Chains A and B, each alone.
Chain A
């Protein structure tokens, strides 16, 4: 049996156990064990990937660290569980991870039938196609009859079928679970096309392709892929903690608070900043956290923009839709007050 099947079995067995196992609140359970268990991608540069020293880096990884900073005041109190696309939901359902931050698309089916809740969006994305340059393909409309590499258990797999049906074209899928294996198949020429979210294409072309110039990302973006962290359904307190952790990172950027200047912000006269850093008010307590939860997030992990610059900008990502709302993007945090 492969790993996904084992996890499926594990989830099935976990569901056979008494309900009391899940009655405990996640926040209490996390405090009791002393760390946040975070489900991340097995290796997608810019989102979650271990660096040369074995330290996990990426936009999703930073969200996990921010949750640890909010809960414990210590961003290092987090452990990572690398998950494939197929393993991720069962890992969250069965309680193996507390947060799933694994470039996962928010859809109504997942939100309503998988027993999980998306807390928001930390990356606005869309599905695209990458082809071998030597095929001389300029548009996705020219892909009739192509062989396409794709990972199973993704929205990508479904959008792909939809797109070809809508355009009355056919294709041959080659479906492999492990990112390394599916990329090997594409780079070796087993497939004409590799498809996933555009962010994933940019990431693997920059970090995995033997020669990035041999591959072209086609102009068509065929879907909306809002990627966001998710938690188990039915635990509103934990849902609030993770949701406002994400919003705090976005709000900090909007307020101009960074890991560098947040110490000075403690003495700020701006009432909004005072509330944010916990100098006044009791927003932290309302969340069931320390009043300096947001200060700790920004101090130890940074704001959203800092995380983007550190992880995604070096790979050639533009802010695009992932810019603040008042700068032409879609990132918008409700007021922290």
Chain B
């Protein structure tokens, strides 16, 4: 017992020493090569514009801190909507794979195999090219529904009290989805949904057949057996791996830089480049993703405990 404690203490000391050594070297190297360090730059004027701001106010006269917050808001927006849409699409696909209808099951299977075996960044380029190269410019916009315009500048739609109108170069007013946001959202949703479909399928299959048979023998219909017995049991197998898919989607949203969506990584990269402070910039990116991921995990763990069978050890 005593010896174990000593080993533990030695380990902690070694880790602390290593960190201290890295810290000292970094500070020394930055100092000798006259590279600025510290977080004072966060309060300085950013000086660059950001294409979309998730409804928050921002101008080039704001600080780097504000710019990074806009980046975080953009990451959060695409991840939150993506998680919801990917879950819906994934559950539908997973159930479709188990459907008695041969064609439906095969189509869903083909979708899953195709989408999850093509790199996500390639899919993002595909969706982005589809929007920016195939849709017409704002002056020749498509209008599939009254007041809804499809252009290579994005999708514009009316909101209560405000309709999009062509002013000069572009549409103003109403609501808008930029091509970058739309491509990223579609890409993340369709990609993650393929993985969620497999998790749902595995979860449903993990419920012993006897459970369903028992429900049927009690007089439940197939649909009732599925929604009252099979799915609630399957949920317990689904939630833990689902958590890691939510984390993946959130982290994958950093591929946004490839297609120009101003997410946190994109803004942080620009900040690193304008200020030259790579260590601080990378530290901010890591801290933010760690916080986001741990928050998602904590929420999903709470939810997992809530749906767990009481008194049964998983």
Whole-angstrom distance between the alpha carbons of A41 and B197 in the complex? 43
Whole-angstrom distance between the alpha carbons of A146 and B137 in the complex? 13
Tell which of B6-14, B102-110, B220-228, B263-271 binds the partner: B263-271
Tell me the A91-123 residues at the B interface (CB within 8 Å).
Answer: 93, 109-110, 112-115
Determine the interface band of chain A, counting residues with CB < 8 A from chain B: 35 or more
Interface assignment of B82: CB less than 8 Å from any CB of chain A = no
Interface assignment of A177: CB less than 8 Å from any CB of chain B = yes
Q: How far is the CB of A14 from chain B (nearest CB, A)?
A: 8
Q: With A4-B257, A157-B48, A172-B51 in contact, do A19 and B29 touch (Cβ < 8 Å)? A: yes
- A162 B169 Cβ-Cβ under 8 A: no
Residues of B within 8 A of A61 (CB): none
Q: With A5-B282, A22-B29, A113-B36 in contact, do A147 and B169 touch (Cβ < 8 Å)? A: yes
- A12 B278 Cβ-Cβ under 8 A: yes
Whole-angstrom distance between the alpha carbons of A275 and B174 in the complex? 72
- B133 A175 Cβ-Cβ under 8 A: no
Q: Which residue of A lies closest to B131 (CB)?
A: A190
- A22 B32 Cβ-Cβ under 8 A: yes
Cβ contact of A15, chosen from B29, B50, B273, cutoff 8 A: B29
- A158 B282 Cβ-Cβ under 8 A: no
Q: How far is the CB of A167 from chain B (nearest CB, A)?
A: 13
Whole-angstrom distance between the alpha carbons of A189 and B282 in the complex? 34
Interface assignment of B161: CB less than 8 Å from any CB of chain A = no
Q: With A12-B282, A145-B170, A177-B257 in contact, do A158 and B48 touch (Cβ < 8 Å)? A: yes
- B29 A86 Cβ-Cβ under 8 A: no
Whole-angstrom distance between the alpha carbons of A176 and B255 in the complex? 12
Interface centre among B61, B152, B168, B278 (most CB of A within 10 A): B278
Q: Which residue of B lies closest to A174 (CB)?
A: B260
Interface size on B, residues (CB 8 A): 54
Interface assignment of A82: CB less than 8 Å from any CB of chain B = no
Q: With A165-B61, A175-B260 in contact, do A93 and B33 touch (Cβ < 8 Å)? A: yes
Q: Which residue of A lies closest to B153 (CB)?
A: A147
| B-contact bits for A161-173, CB 8 A (1 contact / 0 none) | 1101100000111
Whole-angstrom distance between the alpha carbons of A11 and B170 in the complex? 41
Whole-angstrom distance between the alpha carbons of A263 and B39 in the complex? 56
Q: With A12-B279, A86-B269, A188-B152 in contact, do A1 and B25 touch (Cβ < 8 Å)? A: no
- A113 B28 Cβ-Cβ under 8 A: no
Residues of B within 8 A of A135 (CB): 169
- B285 A5 Cβ-Cβ under 8 A: yes
Residues of B within 8 A of A251 (CB): none
Residues of A within 8 A of B254 (CB): 1-2, 5
Interface assignment of B211: CB less than 8 Å from any CB of chain A = no
Interface assignment of B35: CB less than 8 Å from any CB of chain A = yes
Residues of B within 8 A of A178 (CB): 258
Residues of A within 8 A of B34 (CB): 112-113, 115, 233-234
| A-contact bits for B237-279, CB 8 A (1 contact / 0 none) | 0000000000000000011011110100110011011111011
- A113 B61 Cβ-Cβ under 8 A: no
Q: How far is the CB of B279 from chain A (nearest CB, A)?
A: 5
Q: How far is the CB of A35 from chain B (nearest CB, A)?
A: 23
Cβ contact of B28, chosen from A19, A86, A176, A189, cutoff 8 A: A19
Cβ contact of A22, chosen from B22, B33, B167, cutoff 8 A: B33
Whole-angstrom distance between the alpha carbons of A327 and B298 in the complex? 70
- B132 A86 Cβ-Cβ under 8 A: no
- B49 A173 Cβ-Cβ under 8 A: yes
Interface assignment of B180: CB less than 8 Å from any CB of chain A = yes
Q: Which residue of B lies closest to A160 (CB)?
A: B49
Cβ contact of B255, chosen from A2, A172, A233, cutoff 8 A: A2
Tell me the B149-173 residues at the A interface (CB within 8 Å).
Answer: 152-153, 167-170, 172
Interface assignment of B187: CB less than 8 Å from any CB of chain A = no
Interface assignment of A226: CB less than 8 Å from any CB of chain B = no
Whole-angstrom distance between the alpha carbons of A64 and B247 in the complex? 45
- A19 B49 Cβ-Cβ under 8 A: no
Whole-angstrom distance between the alpha carbons of A159 and B57 in the complex? 21
Q: With A8-B282, A144-B168 in contact, do A177 and B51 touch (Cβ < 8 Å)? A: no
- A175 B262 Cβ-Cβ under 8 A: yes
Interface assignment of A85: CB less than 8 Å from any CB of chain B = yes
Residues of A within 8 A of B270 (CB): 86, 152-153, 157, 175
Residues of B within 8 A of A213 (CB): none
Q: Which residue of B lies closest to A2 (CB)?
A: B257
- A234 B32 Cβ-Cβ under 8 A: yes
- A17 B25 Cβ-Cβ under 8 A: yes
Q: Which 4 A-B pairs have the closest CB atoms?
A: A153-B273, A115-B35, A161-B60, A114-B276
Residue positions of B touching A, CB distance < 8 A: 22, 25-26, 28-30, 32-36, 47-51, 59-61, 129, 132-133, 136-137, 152-153, 167-170, 172, 179-180, 254-255, 257-260, 262, 265-266, 269-270, 272-276, 278-279, 281-282, 285
Pairs across A and B, CB under 8 Å, 15 listed? A5-B254, A8-B269, A19-B28, A93-B33, A147-B169, A152-B266, A157-B274, A158-B48, A162-B47, A173-B51, A174-B51, A177-B257, A177-B258, A190-B132, A190-B153
